[in-house]
C-alpha cells in the first residue's frame, strides 16, 4: 500500500497490519468502534505526535509479516487468547472490585457500582462467548453454512453493546487512573481492567475484521 499511514483509517491500518493494534492501544486510539477516522485526524484530536506514530508503524510494516492464519487455528487462538483469558481475569477482577468498594466505602473517588457492573459484564460476555463456542464456531469449522449470516449478525450487534460497556467501564474508573494515594489492590484492579478493556477490543476487532468477513459477512 503506497498511501501514507496518516491518510489511512485506523481500522484499515489495524486490519492490514495487526501489529499496529498494540501501537494504537498504547496511545489510547480506538481502532475498533470509532476506527473510521484517519490517523492524522485521530492524532490531532488526541494531541499526539503523528510523525512519531508513523515511524513506529513504518518499522512494523518493514518487518517480516506473518501469513494470514487459516480459519481453524484462528478460532483456536481466539478461544485460548481471549475467551479463556476474559473468564479467568473477570473472576479475579470482580473480587478485587468488591474489596476496593468495601474497604474504601465513603471515599468520593471510590468506583461505586463497579463490582455489580463487572458481574453483569461477566454474565453477558459469557453468554455471548457460549453462543460462539457452541453454535457459530462449529458452523465455521464445518465450512460454509447457508444460515451463517444470522448468528454472525447477532454477534456483531452484541459486539457493539460490548463496545458501549468498555466505554462505561472507562468512565466508571476515570480512564483506569487510580487516585494518587490508592492502595495496591486499587492499582491492581485498574491495571487489570485496562488490560481487560484492551483485550476485549482486540478480541472484537479480530472477529469482526478477520474471522467474520471470511463467511461473506
Ligand atoms: Fe469471541
Ligand atoms: Fe464475539
CA of 104 to the centre of ligand 1 (A): 34
Helix (H) or strand (E) holding 69: none
CA of 133 to the centre of ligand 2 (A): 10
Cα separation, 26 vs 198, in Å, equals: 9
Neighbours of ion ligand 2 (CB under 5 A): 155, 207
CA of 103 to the centre of ligand 1 (A): 34
Q: Can you give the pLDDT of all 217 residues of the chain as single tens digits? A: 458 999 999 999 998 898 899 899 889 899 988 889 999 999 999 999 999 999 999 999 998 877 778 999 999 999 999 999 999 999 999 999 999 999 999 999 999 999 999 999 999 999 999 999 999 999 999 987 888 999 999 999 999 999 999 999 999 999 999 999 999 999 999 999 999 999 999 999 999 999 999 998 5
CA of 99 to the centre of ligand 1 (A): 29
Cα separation, 20 vs 10, in Å, equals: 9
CA of 55 to the centre of ligand 2 (A): 32
Cα separation, 8 vs 31, in Å, equals: 11
Report pLDDT for 84: 98
Report pLDDT for 217: 58
CA of 165 to the centre of ligand 2 (A): 14
Amino acid at each position: 500500500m503506497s498511501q501514507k499511514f496518516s491518510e489511512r483509517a485506523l481500522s484499515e491500518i489495524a486490519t492490514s497490519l495487526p501489529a499496529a493494534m498494540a501501537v494504537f492501544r498504547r496511545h489510547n486510539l480506538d481502532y475498533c468502534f470509532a476506527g473510521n477516522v484517519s490517523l492524522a485526524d485521530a492524532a490531532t484530536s488526541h494531541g499526539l505526535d503523528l510523525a512519531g506514530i508513523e515511524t513506529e508503524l513504518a518499522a512494523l510494516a518493514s518487518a517480516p509479516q506473518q501469513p494470514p492464519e487459516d480459519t481453524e487455528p484462528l478460532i483456536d487462538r481466539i478461544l485460548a487468547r481471549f475467551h479463556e483469558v476474559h473468564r479467568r481475569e473477570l473472576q479475579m477482577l470482580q473480587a478485587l472490585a468488591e474489596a476496593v468498594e468495601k474497604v474504601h466505602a465513603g471515599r468520593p473517588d471510590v468506583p461505586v457500582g463497579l463490582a455489580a457492573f463487572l458481574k453483569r459484564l461477566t454474565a453477558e460476555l459469557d453468554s455471548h462467548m457460549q453462543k460462539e463456542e457452541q453454535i457459530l464456531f462449529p458452523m465455521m469449522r464445518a465450512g460454509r453454512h447457508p444460515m451463517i449470516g444470522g448468528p454472525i449478525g447477532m454477534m456483531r450487534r452484541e459486539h457493539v453493546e460490548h463496545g458501549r460497556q468498555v466505554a462505561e467501564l472507562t468512565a466508571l474508573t476515570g480512564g483506569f487512573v487510580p487516585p494518587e494515594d490508592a492502595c495496591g489492590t486499587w492499582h491492581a484492579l485498574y491495571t487489570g481492567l485496562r488490560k481487560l478493556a484492551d483485550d476485549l477490543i482486540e478480541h472484537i476487532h479480530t472477529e469482526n475484521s478477520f474471522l467474520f468477513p471470511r463467511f461473506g459477512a
